[in-house]
Structure 1
Amino acid sequence: MEYTFSTAGALIGLVIAIILIIKKIHPAYSLILGALVGGIIGGGGLVTTVNTMVSGAQSMMSSVLRIMTSGILAGALIKTGSAEKIADTIVVKLGQKRAIAAISIATMIICAVGVFVDISVITVAPIAIAIGKKANLSKAGILLAMIGGGKAGNIISPNPNTIAASEAFGIDLTALMMKNIVPALFALIVTILLSGFLAKKASDNYESSGEAAPKNLPNLMAAIAGPLAVIILLALRPVSGISIDPLIALPLGGIISIIVTGNAKNTIAYTEFGLSKVIGVSILLIGTGTLAGIIKTSALQYDMITLLEIMNMPAFILAPLSGILMAGATASTTAGATIASQTFSGTLLEAGVPGISAAAMIHAGATVIDSLPHGSFFHATGGSVFMNIKERMKLIPYEAAVGLTSTIASVIIYLI
């Protein structure tokens, strides 16, 4: 058993990063400073600590490249109105009586095709607010419907967290997306049930919410052309053995979306918009890599395994547990899934847990307590329906229940 840094050092670094994030220091700088302090306190020395941080950041580069190119798809879906058209169609088809289910399914699908979860919620929010006013549904109910749907879609999407987990375990992205389809469906069902319960307690005033002005949206076939192209390209590997890397498939889908919707002249503007949406998460991943490097080369993973053995718990529990804890610590699905995957992939594989199952359990676990107040998702989603912090805090247990549902389902599937 060889390691460079102590468990205490790694944990102190993590705590420092969390405190700085809560104090509203940029998450990337918080993670870098936490890694530096944790490494030095952990006994690595300044030179070793910095070298380990750099190595950890370098290990993120393949994920960062894919995430940067995925911004083309995200930008295209948002700016062409395709994401809104998909959401609007789903809501119209299911009708107002099934409003909660419609809102959840719309958010799930938009997130699943490659739009980031917070943007998926923001995209659906104007439609959800309009439905809430007409059907007398509470803000808490409609926001939970969007968040839960987003969580379900996030674990089956080509989003940064999925890419990071697949990279860490060296597994196919499409295979990981498919692995969590059943857990995602269970999460969706629980979301609809819990949201329906909360939505009935309607006492909200929507007057100040404001609804988005109508847009000239593309037709449905044009709206789904880009995401459909991505799905087909990524599915070629398991179906026919032809491997199309997400680095190619995701931006190609975005270009197709831009052209089919008649926005070819706006290609540069839309791709730049997409890049602006992924720069933040790309920088976050680099900062995450520095802390992941310290944690990965510390005694933490060995001590966690020892603790599991003392508690007489099987090794595979490390996968969902690490996803839950790391996502909660960073208040980020992406950072949590990345740190957990980078740190424990080797240990889980050595314990005989298949990479695809371990990645799926970590990924699902990272959606349990990822929306805590020291993260941006908490504030972005609350702001989408003009909800204050006190009201937003009350949703955390319900969100955790949705994430825990997909995590338990993912574990059960592994055991079967």
Structure 2
Amino acid sequence: MTYTFSTAGALIGMALAIFLIIRKFHPAYSLIIGALVGGLIGSGGNLGVTVDSMMTGAGSMITSVLRIMTSGILAGALIRTGSAEKIAQVIVRKLGSRRALFAVALATMIICAVGVFIDISVITVAPIALAIGEEAGYNKQSLLLAMIGGGKAGNIISPNPNTIAVSEAFKINLTSLITRNIIPAICALIVTVILSGILAGKNGLPVTESDLESTDSRSLPSFAQAIAGPLTVIVLLALRQAGITIDPMIALPVGGLVCAFATGTVKKFGEFSSFGLDKVTGVSILLLGTGTIAGIIKASALQADVVTVLNFFHMPAFLLAPIAGILMAGATASTTAGATVAAQTFSKVLISSGIPAVSAGAMIHAGATVIDSLPHGSFFHATGGAVNMQIPDRMKLIAYEALVGLTSTIAAVIVYLVA
């Protein structure tokens, strides 16, 4: 088979993009420049075919971008009405300070699972977690790991940008992809609580008065009002099982509208939508940049060469899915970008190898949560800032976070093997 670009060109493009991201150049532009340079090198300087492949790759992201833009309506409503905060408060209070780490992890998992982005989920829960931690004597490292691990667990069962992008790449039902990763998510939650407990027993950064802020400074809705929007989305997406297909592009904003009605703030729905759009604009632009490099990689010999390497070492073809998710997310320091590039690049190879699309998508998605929080990404800094943690201390948590992601990845592989 003849490929448009060489493997060397694709790898050089990825390496350049990573270098630029590490040097604090905008991730979207870094990916576009990497795609351009990699394409020119890989095609022997053919600018026309390079640009065409970049455009094709970016074009393949449009449906995902549209769904992501509408998902911002739900996220905006949950955050601005105080619904996300209320859900977190209720979970933490019901479980009590004796189970504080589990409560914090579960609260973050649920908020992320109902459609709030993982970094915003951590930022939302952080004030509550710090207050509980100060009362119960937990250090910041244990609390932040509980939130991040819970967020990772919720991330793979959420109608969020990365899940949408993977489902698009494999042309599979979003609900089916979410359902397939429920067991890996539970496993990740369990390991999160165990690892957080281990960190709690070590000397760490204490929670001080300066870290605390009031979580009751504004009137919050009741729990029933807060959960109405997310429940609406779950029900609408689940109707597919009854033969009624409602696209996430419809279900997610409807959930946001129901949230606004339930909390009596429907007059501010436009404000919530604008706030949500602001939150998803960055990831939408990132996805378009991701599409350009994905277009180059898809048209390169990289896929065939990776399969050749797997065959040389007698490794089963299905391992390509989690490995691709891990490596691409680590390269971009983003679950969304990593899962998207991996899914866009290797979906056809995996399906042609006999791997069911939903299983391959689930393994890629879980793999993308292993080393997605490296320092050249925004998640690393946003989560550290949520608990006033300096970079050296934040760095020490990366290995623990990777163990959480690796747990869900291994569980996803086991689910595929026994399914």
TM-score by length of 2: 0.98
Greater shift, 203-212 or 82-91, is seen at: 203-212
- What is the CA-CA distance between 1:3 and the residue it aligns to? 1.1
The 1:310–1:387 alpha-carbon spacing in structure 2 relative to 1, beyond 3 Å, is same
Partner of 1:11: 11
Partner of 1:102: 103
Conservation of the 8 A alpha-carbon contact between 2:162 and 2:337: yes
* Distance (Å, rounded) in 2 between the aligned partners of 1:270 and 1:72: 7
- DSSP-derived class of the 2:376 partner: coil
Amino acid at match of 2:379: F
- What is the CA-CA distance between 1:200 and the residue it aligns to? 2.4
* Distance (Å, rounded) in 2 between the aligned partners of 1:204 and 1:213: 19
Give aligned pairs, total. 415
- What is the CA-CA distance between 1:203 and the residue it aligns to? 4.3
Write the deviation string for residues 17-36 of structure 1: whole angstroms up to 9, x where unpaired. Answer: 11111111110000000000
- What is the CA-CA distance between 1:208 and the residue it aligns to? 2.7
**1:191-230 matches, cutoff 5 A:** 191-201=192-202, 202-214=204-216, 215-230=218-233
**1:130-209 matches, cutoff 5 A:** 130-201=131-202, 202-209=204-211
Partner of 2:24: 24
Conservation of the 8 A alpha-carbon contact between 2:130 and 2:207: no
Write the deviation string for residues 57-110 of structure 1: whole angstroms up to 9, x where unpaired. Answer: 000000000000000000000000000000000000000000000000000000
* Distance (Å, rounded) in 1 between the aligned partners of 2:39 and 2:299: 10
- DSSP-derived class of the 1:312 partner: coil
% same residue: 69
- What is the CA-CA distance between 1:183 and the residue it aligns to? 0.4
Out of 232, 239, 243, which is 1:236 matched to?
Answer: 239
Partner of 2:265: 263
- DSSP-derived class of the 1:25 partner: coil
- What is the CA-CA distance between 1:213 and the residue it aligns to? 4.9
- What is the CA-CA distance between 1:205 and the residue it aligns to? 4.6
* Distance (Å, rounded) in 1 between the aligned partners of 2:77 and 2:307: 44
Write the deviation string for residues 158-179 of structure 1: whole angstroms up to 9, x where unpaired. Answer: 0000000000000000000000
Write the deviation string for residues 182-238 of structure 1: whole angstroms up to 9, x where unpaired. Answer: 000000000000001112224425233231452210000000000000000000001
- DSSP-derived class of the 1:208 partner: helix
* Distance (Å, rounded) in 1 between the aligned partners of 2:215 and 2:349: 52
Q: Which runs of 5 or more structure 1 residues have no equivalent in the other structure?
A: none
Conservation of the 8 A alpha-carbon contact between 2:72 and 2:277: yes
Partner of 1:42: 42
The 1:212–1:280 alpha-carbon spacing in structure 2 relative to 1, beyond 3 Å, is farther
**1:392-407 matches, cutoff 5 A:** 392-407=394-409
Partner of 2:80: 79
- DSSP-derived class of the 1:378 partner: helix
* Distance (Å, rounded) in 2 between the aligned partners of 1:246 and 1:203: 41
Amino acid at match of 1:234: L
**1:260-409 matches, cutoff 5 A:** 260-409=262-411
Partner of 1:59: 60
Write the deviation string for residues 317-369 of structure 1: whole angstroms up to 9, x where unpaired. Answer: 10000000000000000000000000000000000000000000000000000
- DSSP-derived class of the 1:171 partner: coil
Partner of 2:2: 2
RMSD (CA atoms): 0.8
Amino acid at match of 2:47: L
- DSSP-derived class of the 1:328 partner: helix
